[in-house]
Structures are given as C-alpha cells and as structure tokens.
Amino acid sequence: MTPGDTMTETAAEPPLYFWTATRLRDAIRDGELSAVEVMTAFLDRTDATNDAVNVMVHRLPREEALALAAEADRAREAGEALGPLHGLPIAIKDLVDVAGMPTSRGSRAFAGRGPADADVPHVAKLRKAGALVIGKTNAPEFGVGTVTWNDVFGITRNPFDLDRHAGGSTGGVAAVAAGMLPFCDGSDSGGSLRYPASFCNAVGLRTTPGVVPAVAGGGSWSPHSVNGPVARTCRDAALLLTGMSGSDELSPLSARTRPTAELGAPRTAPLRVAWSEDLGELPISAQVRTVFAQTRARLEDAGVEIVDADVDFSGVGRAWEIIELVGWFSLLGRDPIDHPEKYRDDFARNVSEASGFSTAELIAAEDRRYRLFAAFAELLRSFDAFVCPGAPVVAPPAELPWVPQIEDEHFDRYFQWQRLACHLVMTGHPVLAMPAGFTSEGLPVGIQVVGRYGDDVELLAVGEQLELILDVVDVHPELG
C-alpha cells in the first residue's frame, strides 16, 4: 500500500472522530468520555468538512444535538439501562422518514415537503438502542445509481479525493469515512451500500432480507432492496446492526427475526474462500485488477485457502433489471410517466419501461433469481465466503453522472456499470463490502464478500478476519 497525499495512516492516537464506534460506546458507558464530548467532536468535524464533501443535507441545530447527548449522559449517571448504541450520533439516508425531519429522496418532486410524522422501523429501533439521530445524508433521486448527486443538494464528494464521487446511493458512507459520523445506515438494491464503501475505504453490509425490517408498503414483501449498516470496521458494523435488526409487525420478511449480536473474540479458524475476478467476465479496470491480485497474494501469504470459483451468471443482469425497474413502477405508479419533467430523465425512463414488461418476463426474472440463490447456497456449503472485487473501477470523476465506459466496454444505461454489485443482489445472500487496499495514486479499492444466507454476523466475523490481515481500515482521508 502506498498512501497518497490525501490520506494519513493513523499510527498515533487518532482524534475522537476517528475512534471506532465500539471504543466510543465503551468509553461513554465507562464514564471515560461523556456523550457531550463525543457529540461535540463529531459536530466540530462536520462543521470543518461538510462544505467540501457535501453529505449532511439536514442537521439538527447544534444546541438540539448537544441536548440529546446531555440527556444520554444523565441517563448513564442515573444508572438507567443503556442500549448497545447509547450516546452515539448517527444520521439517516434521505430516502426514508425520520420523525421531525424532511425527506426529499433527492427529488425535485419531494423537495420542500414538511417534516415526517414518524420514524421508519429501523430508525425507531436505532433510537431505542440509544443512538442519537442528528441529521440526514445525501442520496441520488430515489436511490437511482451508485453515485450520489441530485438536483436538490448536488454532488457528494469523496473524502480521499474531492474531485471524485463518494459513490451511492448511500452517500452517508462519505460522512463515516470523513469522520463526521461513527457510522450510518444505508440501503442496497444494486450496490448502494457496497460501491461507496469500496470507494471510501469503509464497510457496508447488504444484509440478508428481513434481518433489518423494511419500510412498510408493497416493497416490504420483496427481498430486492434491504437496509444495512455502514461503518469503518466490521466490528462497528456488527455493533450498529444490533440496533437496526429485529422484527417489526408491519415488515413481513422480518417476522421472528431477533436482533443480531455483537462480534465476540476475533475469528481465528482457517478460512476457505471461493474467488472470482470478474463474475463471469464483467469488465474490471486495470487499477482494480492490480489491487485485487495484491489482495489475493496477501491473503494467501497469511494462510487463507483461495479457490477459483465458476458460477453461472448468464441472464442475471437482465433479471435484475426487470425486478429493479418494476420496483420503481410499483413505488410511484404512472406519475414519472405522466409528469417526467419532475424527475431525472433516466428514472422516468425506468418507470416507463417497467410499465411494459410482460407477466412472462417477470416470472422468468424471479425464476432466475431463485436458481442463482440455490447455486450460492450450494457453493457456500464448501466455503466460508465468496469474494470478488468491490467495484469495477476506482471512484469516478465527480462531473460524471455515471460511469459510461470500463476498459473497452461502453454503456448506454447508468445501471450497466453496476452489474458487479447487481449480480450479487440476485443471490439473496448477505454481501459485505470492505477495504482491501489502495492504488498507487492513493485511491481506495474494496472487495465484496458473500456469506451464507442468514449468517450476517458470521459474515462480519469473517470480514474482520480478512480485515486484520489486510490492515488498511485505519487509513483515513486528510480534510480540513
């Protein structure tokens, strides 16, 4: 690893805003730090960096955020029962409702609406777990695309290189990477947790459907889009997941789901990993291939058994496309067709195309999803995980609305460069994106790690084992 000028390896004691969430939580519980001190550190960091990164699109006034922290300190001093996230600040992706805060969904069609009346289920759980909700993070319109820009708030930039995208649609990854937050939530139907994590040297977990309760509505029956945690380490992601997970009576896939557990002692058992360089010859940039090969060599040198895997992904891209676009049509109906001027052009096109899909096409797409799910269930009986690159390119230039070309392959739709992530959505299994290394120019490169269905915590434990070998999570951007 050769860090560039825009980052620093934190060998010395890091500032509070780069402490792990787990360490901060323990320090608050033990009285080593107050929640007010922790909140102040993150608020100051946000004041110093948000203008450059542009990720926190709604913020509680400072005095209100500090009042939340003071109440958390009072509860601890009074000996009250404390949740697993007690006293830690968090911000929520601006696609879902948070009581008392506006929800723009990055869309002109929603901008200017008043504050929401209630929290969505996972936000209510986060509050109950002791997290202090202090704002909203940027997202592209309705989460379309894996880079964060919209006509309401603009571009969210990469803390490692402000001339590049942070990734999306979970723009909040940039806030975590920059030290504005210890962790945040996100969602993923086509890489929205995983591409930004790969671009920003962070961790993002696409959870098993139902582990985190979905927002109430027709989409809550589908395993396609899920909510999940973002953090700087796998252990912190597991901590956050404890506060997001569990059942909700209006989220049918979450029935009988129990809150997940924190990680115990680091996993030391031998690892056997299935490996794919490109998920069946998808285009991957030379920069990413170089770092991915270096990652393999480091893991093998550390004793990880790696076996090249051959999985049939034929037809999966088209099946994902049909399911994804129908989801947008079911969400908004004909409004983007009848009033396209209110929406981003490619979003209106998505909905228009979905309105014409046949029943046969929908059935075939669902069948292809099941067959890929079954193939991965069988594969993972013999392996601890399946690994492939986290994204096909490094973070793209900020002026691009999406990546139009990788190596010699050109794309005419925004989602075509997302296939490395979209294909894994169709497995139905949990997928972890985590830091793997850096290019010679100092840009982060990640890997995706697929785990067994329903074993999200075990996947994070495997991720931590890989994390300790690769040893790059403590590389942070220099901002301000």
- Domain ranges, ordered by start, for the chain: 7-477
Question: Residue holding tokens 């890489």?
Answer: 191
169 counts as catalytic: yes
For residues 186 and 170, the answer to whether their CB atoms sit within 8 Å is yes
Tell me what the pLDDT averaged over the chain comes to: 95
Q: What is the pLDDT of residue 204?
A: 98
Q: Give the single-character DSSP code of 395.
A: P
Active-site residue identified among 107, 189, 192, 285: 192
Cα torsion 342, 346, 352, 358 to 10°: value is -150
CA distances from residue 205 to 123, 366, 431, 459 in whole angstroms, order as listed? 17, 23, 6, 9
Nearest to 260 by CA among 139, 437, 85, 72: 85
d(CA 23, CA 36): 16
For residue 206, the surrounding DSSP H or E stretch is strand 203-206
Q: What is the pLDDT of residue 319?
A: 98
User: Percent helix, strand and coil across the chain, each rounded to 5?
Assistant: 40, 20, 45
104 counts as catalytic: no
pLDDT digits (tens, 9 = 90+) for 449-465: 999 999 999 999 999 99
Is the model's pTM score more than 0.85? yes
Active-site residue identified among 93, 187, 220, 225: 93
Mean pLDDT of 382-404: 98
d(CA 351, CA 340): 10
| pLDDT for residue 10 is more than 80 | no
Token readout for 208 is: 């098993």
Return all residues near 6 (Cβ < 8 A) that are at least 6 apart: 160, 161, 442, 477, 478
pLDDT digits (tens, 9 = 90+) for 347-367: 899 999 999 999 999 999 999
Query: For the domain bounded by 7-477, which CATH number is listed?
Result: 3.90.1300.10
* Angle 146-149-155 from CA coordinates, rounded to 5°: 120
| pLDDT for residue 216 is more than 90 | no
pLDDT digits (tens, 9 = 90+) for 147-166: 999 999 999 999 999 999 99
Question: Hey, which bits of 39-103 come out as E strands?
Answer: 56-59, 89-93
Active-site residue identified among 34, 107, 169, 254: 169
93 counts as catalytic: yes
Q: What is the pLDDT of residue 91?
A: 98
Token readout for 333 is: 């109906």
